[in-house]
Amino acid sequence: MTLKELLGSNVRAARNARGWSQALLAEKAGMAVNSVGRMERGEMGLSFKRIDAVANALDVEPAALFAVEPPVTPTPEKARLLHRIQVLLHRMSEEELLRLMRVVKAVET
């Protein structure tokens, strides 16, 4: 996958996660709708300025648009749960974290 394709795939994933149309993203990022489509298909690269505008419109860090894992904005409930889990994890000892890792791996499969 090329960088343009990775960028396009991640932008599409972030846009779809928000339930946005290409037209809405284009409006929020100050782009033409056909440019959003071409970018999402990996047919068109973007300048740093345009990458920043798209990232700001999607409320993600620009680097996230080039991540192997697409940027995902959790629902408000999921964000609250993740925060609560993070607080609990920080309170755990290393030994407790290792036990928890075994449990998570067992559930994951």
**What does each of the 109 residues of the chain score in pLDDT, given as a tens digit?**
899 999 999 999 999 989 999 999 999 999 999 999 999 999 999 999 999 999 999 999 999 899 887 556 777 888 888 889 999 999 999 999 999 999 989 987 6
* pTM given for the model: 0.63
DSSP for the chain reads: --HHHHHHHHHHHHHHHTT--HHHHHHHHT--HHHHHHHHTTS----HHHHHHHHHHHTS-GGGGG-SSPP-PPPHHHHHHHHHHHHHHHHS-HHHHHHHHHHHHHHH-
